[in-house]
Structure 1
Amino acid sequence: MIDSLLNPADPPARQTEKLLQIVQVLMRRVESITDDGGAAYAQFQRAAMLEDQVRERTADLERTLDLLNLSNARLADANKATEAARQNLANAIETVQEGFALFDADDVLVLCNSRFGMHMVDIVDHLRPGLTFDAYITHVSRSRYLALPERETPEDWAVRRRRRHLDRHVIFNVRMIWDRWVQVSEHRTADGGTVILQTDVTDIIRSERLERGKMLDDQARIIRATLDHINQGVCIFDADARLVGWNQRLGTLLAIPLARFRIGASFDYLLERFQREISFGEGMSAPLLEAWVKARAGRAALNFELRRGDDLILDVFAQEMPDRGFVMSFTDVTAERAAIEALSRANETLEARVMERTLELEDALAHAERANASRSRFVAAASHDLLQPLSAAKLFIASIGDEAVEPQSREALEKAQNALDSVEGILAALLDISKLESGKAAVSVGPVRLDRLLAQLRDEFAPLAAAKGLRLVVVPCSAVVASDPAYLRRILQNLIGNAIRYTTQGRVLVGARAKAGLLRLEVWDTGPGIPEADQENIFKEFHRLNAPASASEGMGLGLAIVERACGLLGHPLGLSSQVGRGTCFMLQLPRADGAGPPMVPSESRRGGDESRRVAQDKIAFLVENDSDLRRAMGLLLEKWGMSVLDAASGEEALALIEEIGILPDFFLVDQQLGAGMTGVDFIIALRARHGAVPASIVTANRRAELAALCAASQIGLIYKPVDARALEVFLSGL
């Protein structure tokens, strides 16, 4: 009813005024009517609430309409802007001089300009938005304006074009009919679409072709001028063995008039010329050359000689070119061959002279080697022969008891013993020099404990230094080095002995320094020093500084042995000296990984009296072919309280043992027993019959092979000249 009272066409103010009037009338009516349950008033309240809701909904609708109108206005503006941008884009790509096309991510044409496909009029009608890329390629491959490569079908071209489309960026040239060229540039966009640009490059390609032709003409003229000015004859043939180029020098060398050369001439004419007037060198003939020319597979370069008469030799080099043609060069080597022949004759003469001189030098070298070998053998033999009586003399002196000698005679015996010790040292030095010079010295490099070696050297040289009033200082060192223990001991013995010999006051110091993974042993003294001019001479044999070589003072062999032994072991040897202040010898050694052999405590070594007491009442067997030495050792052992059996050979000794039926307590056996078995052979045979018995080889042979053999067979080893102390050490092991 209220809706019928309000006119929707009225303005909002008028409608509000009417509603207020209606509300006032209804209020008066409600107030005038009484109702027991208050239903009328409740209906009034509901009407008022509905009015408020209607008013709110009306306001919301008005705001919604306003927003809708605003959005429609903005959408219209955006549509206008989009259309303007599209038109601007179309106008922009239309102004581009190249053909332009855009395909979306699904390879569907979005837009293109009028120049796209302008070189193929027959496909322009198909270039509309919605065209797929495959359909576009199909139209292009079948266009009559496309110049397909030789022996390629439209389908082949389309397959190759679609394969290129898989790349993100690609640029290539397409040949059209009438010698026109289009460059196609294809690029992928960020959203997966494709942009294609087409550029007419006909003028550029034609210009480059023209410039290339001019350049080739210029190069041809340059090549022609070069060929005519080189000193070689050159001819060029195409793939069909037809002449396409040559120079003037070729006609001169082959004695062919230039009028006979013409473009297109067959190689057969040149080959005929070779057969008539020119002979082939070794390894080449006309059939072989013809077969090389006619070969169709890859031809290797060919090099051979031609001779024209006796006064011309040509070196020919033929090589295939990329177009299957080949080029041949002819070089006059007559003068070179003549020079080579002259040089060869001179070489033959020189070789004969060199051979003659070489034979003379070989004879001289062989003579020197024989002399050196003879000297080495003589020294070794002489030393061995001298060691036999020397051993006997020392043992005879040692067998003389102190109780049987008067004090005056005892002093003479001590001097005789010292003299024999000097002779023994000289003979040992001569043997060492002989082995080192002959190259027969064998070394056995292994871990060597310096604490043990230095302790032994200190005990050995301390009495000698004290006798001269010198202080010997040996700095302890627990390092382990890689060296031959015997030669290292001999090197240090000679260095320390020299230092004590030449030092009159002060001290001798022996120590070691660590040097970057190496160890340097140093022997210092406070002696007179060595002048720089004499520092090389001191290592020569029989050379003593400011003193002649003598048996009592030294023969000057110690440093010679040191230098050769260090060279053999690869231990660098150094020298530093100041005149008036002293000298230092330095020996550089590599460190070893192992711990070295264990050190034997000094308190565990038995003295001479204890050794003799242990061996007392035992039976000793001497096998020695030298009667004097056998007698001397027998006397000494008998003096020590032993019973002695002896024999001159191994066979005799074995027979004697079988005869008496008694096995002695130990054996002392010479290694060189003359004919028959050696000392080691005898001991092995003895142990095979009677089991393990104590035995030692007594020999002057200091070779490492014998020492290794004795060690492997668990046989003792005593070197000649035999010293009483060495026998005591052996007896202490019993």
Structure 2
Amino acid sequence: MTSNLIDPREPLEEQHARLLVITEALMRRVEQEMDEVGAAYAQFERAVVLEDQVQQRTAELEHALNLLNHSNAQLAQASRDADAARADLSNAIEAVREGFALFNGDDVLVMCNSRFGQQIRDVQPQLEPGLHFREYVVLVSRSRFLALPRGTSPEVWAAKRLQRHSDTHVMFNVELKDDHWLQVSEHRTPGGGTVILQTDITDVIRIGREERDKLLDEQARMIRATLEHLNQGVAIFDRGARLVGWNRRFVDLLALSPIRMHIGVRFDRIAQDFRERFSVSQDSFLRTLEHWRGDVVQQTPLSFELQGANRQTLDTFARQMPDGGFVISVTNVTAEREATRALSIANETLEARVTERTLELEDALDAAERANASKSRFVAAASHDLLQPLSAAKLYLASATDGDANPLLVKAGRALESVELIIDALLDISKLDSGSAQFDFRDVALNEVLLPLRDELAPLAASKGLDLRVVPSRLSVRSDPSYLRRILQNLMGNALRYTERGKVLVGVRRMRDAVRLEVWDTGIGIREEDQELIFQEFQRLDASASANEGLGLGLAIVERACARLGHPLGLWSQPGRGSGFFVNLPIANRPGRAADPMVPQVAAGWRLKNRGMIVLLVEDDNDLRRAITVLLGKWDVSVLDAASADEAIDLLDEIEITPDAVLVDYQLEGSMDGVALAQALFERHGPLPTCILSANRSSEFRARCGDAGLPLIAKPIDAGKLERFLLSALPGEVDAEARPRFFSFD
């Protein structure tokens, strides 16, 4: 009931007074309505309880009133503090020497000081809080105090200004009327607002202009002084072809009248004197200068000569300047032209003599080139013709020995091997000398070169009772593997050949970014005066050595190959104590292979016995074809032989047998060579294991075989290599899935 009699929206004082009135009314009612049965007492008790509630409510209202009064006091203090802070901020902004304005995040002006827009007096009265930034820019663009750039309207200026406003940081200069300047900078606030500062930089601009004018005056004086000290005549014309500067040398060289030379005279009037006193080598260039216009871009300089009396020659040079004008320089080259004429007369006589001598030298050079080409063709042809019968002889010997140790056959085999080595050496020297040798640089594991050579030369060392030690190495080098093997083979063979007792040591010494192959021996040594001689062809220190021990070509090949490969070669030797040869090689990034165990040597062909293998042999040389047939017959291999490509194709079509492997000579009579025949057989019979036999050692030929996927065995044919190829062609000898289509055996 009480809550219905009191309006909580009324002030606390009014609620308290209303409760007191209600309490008094209730007390009076209680006293008036008491009855005989004690109802008045009950009313009294209720009145007492109601009074307690009223007192409690009154206390709460008084406490709330105190809190409200305290809060009102704090709010009033805060309002006074805010007013003081606003006044301090306004005073601080007003104390700033630059014009200051603050726009909020909605680009509405919040406040500015009295210096903001002070120089734009027709805009400053409208700079009141609430002004939008766009309206501010429009007002400035239309101000009569703003000096707009030439050709720029107020609308265009306002659009560019609003576009700059979108940048995070803006700074630019504004030109005002009466030669005043403002620097305007904008900065973004963390809340997205904008602070604009306007700084009067008129004094800075004027001082800079004065300094620039002084500098230009000083430069002009310096330029005039420089022109007067030049040995050339110089004249400067503006974009209207009017004279603006010249030196005395220009007037003297051209013998111009002083009356002509004054500021502002046009070039066409000066050109009249040119034509009267001189003949012009390029008259079109002179006409170009006479009709000069500054808006025409002449990027190419104009150069011509003026020929005067007594052979006077003036070299004239004209170039356009950045401002559209041009500068002319005149140089007296009379002495140079006279010297050129005298030299030309002398050269005519000398030229005739040089021509005559050149023809003689050309004839001699042609003769030398023909002789060199003839030598190269002879070496190549002779090598091929020699290798054919040599291959046949080696194969016949291989089939004749068949495990027998006939001393005569062994000596004959060694003699043939010596002939093969000599032919190979001659071919190598011919290629290296002619520059036709091509190298295949790649990473080579040294063990892949050292260990096979150790196994190959171990029998020679054992036969002489020498201790051959080859220290394995896990290092890899960057070189051509075949030439690197030839270099090391020749050095090791040479050491074994000239060492009668003791040992030969081959090892690798690691350096910073390179390795050094070293071959040491305890042989006869080399005298200092002979150390250059040994690298020449057919030079041997041991005159008693037989031809089977070499013809002195090994070190010649080593010296040429190292030079072409870029591997420095060194030598140390002392007569009676031994020698050491050193080859420096660039180190590669991958490690070499570990040392391989010694593999026992077995007789060639025994693994082909009783296999029932059929081989197609295509060879146009009858003796070599017969020798290969005999050797393969010893190995229980059936041979289908043909002398040409057409005969081989017809033979397979006739007997309808597909061979297990194919041996093809490269140089065949007819329209197809060995590679073309192999590809024809692939199309007719599928991918038959095919090997090319050839004495051709060129890199182009090897690349062609490699591109066709054909292995190559070089002539003279080695029986071991031939056996390895035939074994690879047998099914089951190598896992069929893992075995590649073709193998390389050379």
Residue 281 of structure 2 aligns with an amino acid whose one-letter code is: G
The one-letter amino acid paired with 1:60 is H
8 Å contact from structure 2 (residues 318, 327) kept in 1: yes
Q: Does 1:52 align with 2:55?
A: yes
Residue 302 of structure 2 is matched in structure 1 by 303
The code of the aligned residue for 1:304 comes to S
Q: Partner of 1:63 in structure 2?
A: 66
Are the equivalent residues in 2 in contact too, given 1:109–1:130 (CA < 8 A)? yes
| Counterpart position of 1:504 | 500
2:560 is matched with 564
Query: Are the structure 2 counterparts of residues 335 and 35 from structure 1 closer, same or farther at C-alpha, using a change threshold of 3 Å?
Result: farther
Deviation at 1:56, TM superposition (A): 1.8
Rounded to whole Å, the distance in 2 between the matches of 1:470 and 1:417 is 23
Q: TM-score, normalised by structure 1?
A: 0.66
For 2:48, the aligned partner's letter is: Q
* Farther off after superposition, 167-176 or 428-437: 428-437
| CA apart distance, 1:254 | 1.8
**1:399-450: CA deviations, max 9, x gaps?**
999xxxxxxxx99998888778767765665565455545566778899998
Q: Report the alpha carbon displacement of residue 284 of structure 1 after superposing the two structures with TM.
A: 3.4
Alignment partner of 2:532 out of 527, 536, 540: 536
Distance 1:609 1:174 in 2: 105
Paired position in structure 1 for 2:182:
183
Could you say what secondary structure the match of 1:235 adopts?
strand
Matched position secondary structure for 1:259:
coil
Distance verdict in 2 for CA 1:146–1:613, change over 3 Å:
closer
Distance 1:342 1:587 in 2: 57
Query: Contact 1:549–1:555 at 8 Å: present in 2 too?
Result: no
Matches of 1:298 and 1:152, distance apart in 2: 27
Question: Which residue is equivalent to 1:583?
Answer: 580
Q: Which residue of 2 aligns with 1:6?
A: none
Instruction: Quote the Cα distance in structure 1 between the aligned partners of 2:701 and 2:201.
Output: 98
Distance apart, 1:704 and its partner CA: 7.8
Partner of 1:172: 173
Does structure 2 retain, via aligned residues, the 8 Å contact 1:696–1:718?
no
CA offset at residue 520 of structure 1? 6.8
- Answer with 1 or 2: which has the greater Rg: 1
The secondary structure found in structure 1 opposite 2:245 is strand
Provide the rounded CA distance (Å) in 2 between the counterparts of 1:394 and 1:83: 115
Residues 1:71 and 1:457: Cα distance change in structure 2 (over 3 Å): closer
Find out whether 1:277 has 2:277 as its counterpart.
Answer: yes
Cα distance in 2, alignment partners of residues 724 and 135 from structure 1? 102
Amino acid across the alignment from 2:277 = E
Whether contact under 8 Å (1:423, 1:551) holds in the other structure is no
The answer to whether the Cα contact below 8 Å between 2:388 and 2:715 also exists between their aligned partners in 1 is: no
What SS does structure 1 have at the residue aligned with 2:302?
Answer: strand
Q: CA deviation at 1:503?
A: 1.5
* Aligned equivalents of 2:393, 2:179: Cα separation in 1: 120
Which string of whole-angstrom CA distances, capped at 9 and with x for unpartnered residues, describes residues 217-239 of structure 1?
Answer: 44433333333332232323333
Measure, in 1, the Cα distance between the counterparts of 2:698 and 2:124: 106
Percentage of identical aligned residues: 44
Q: Contact (CA 8 Å) 2:674, 2:692: kept in 1 or not? A: yes
Amino acid at match of 2:268: D
The residue identity in structure 1 corresponding to 2:580 is T
- Which structure 2 segments of 5+ residues have no match? 1-23, 637-642, 731-746
What CA distance in whole angstroms lies between the structure 2 residues aligned with 1:250 and 1:481? Answer: 70
Partners in 1 of 2:569 and 2:219 — Cα distance? Answer: 71
The answer as to 2:308 corresponding to 1:312 is no
**2:239 counterpart residue number:** 239
Q: Output the CA distance in 1 between the equivalents of 2:361 and 2:698.
A: 32
Distance across 1 between alignment mates of 2:149 and 2:62 = 77
Distance 1:584 1:328, change over 3 A: closer
Aligned equivalent of 1:252: 252
Distance in 1 (CA, whole Å) between partners of 2:481 and 2:413 is 28
Deviation, structure 1 residue 730: 12
Is the contact made by 2:518 and 2:580 (CA closer than 8 Å) also made in structure 1?
Answer: no
Mapped to 1, the partners of 2:298 and 2:569 lie a distance apart of 66
Alpha carbons of structure 1 residues 356 and 81: separation in structure 2 relative to 1, 3 Å: same
1:499/1:525 contact within 8 Å kept: yes
CA contact (8 A) 2:473 2:592 kept: no
The answer to whether the 8 A contact 2:281-2:304 is kept is yes
Q: Which amino acid aligns with 1:326?
A: F
Letter in 1 for 2:328: M
Structure 2 length as normaliser, TM-score? 0.65
Comparing 381-390 and 60-69, the one that deviates more = 381-390
Q: Write the letter of the residue equivalent to 2:555.
A: L
Candidates 464, 467, 476, aligned match of 1:468: 464
Task: List aligned pairs for 1:369-384, cutoff 5 A.
Answer: 369-373=369-373
Judge conservation of contact 1:612–1:728 (CA < 8 Å) in 2.
no
Mapped partners of 1:367, 1:295: distance in 2: 64
SS in 1 for 2:504: strand
Check 1:265–1:51 CA distance in 2 against 1; reply closer, same or farther (3 A cut): closer
- Where structure 1 has 5 or more consecutive residues not aligned to the other structure, the ranges are 1-21, 402-409, 643-648
* Aligned counterpart, 2:265: 265
Query: Which residue does 1:110 correspond to in 2?
Result: 111
Offset, 1:625: 8.7
Could you tell me how far 1:189 is from its partner in structure 2? 6.5
Deviation string 1:193-219 (CA, Å, 9 cap, x unpaired) is 544546383x66555555544444444
1:584-625 CA deviation, whole Å, 9 max, x = no partner? 5548598799999xx9x978954699999999xxxx999879
Over 3 Å counting, the alpha-carbon distance change for 1:88 and 1:389 in structure 2 is: closer
Distance 1:554 1:286, change over 3 A: closer
1:539 shift after superposition? 1.6
Equivalent in the alignment of 1:324 = 324
Kindly indicate whether the alpha-carbon contact (under 8 Å) linking 1:448 and 1:485 is maintained by their aligned counterparts in 2.
Answer: yes
State the one-letter code of the partner of 2:567. P
- Root mean square deviation, CA, Å: 6.5
CA contact (8 A) 2:666 2:694 kept: yes
CA distance 1:146–1:478, change in 2 (3 Å): closer
CA distance in structure 1 between the partners assigned to 2:428 and 2:98 by the alignment? 100
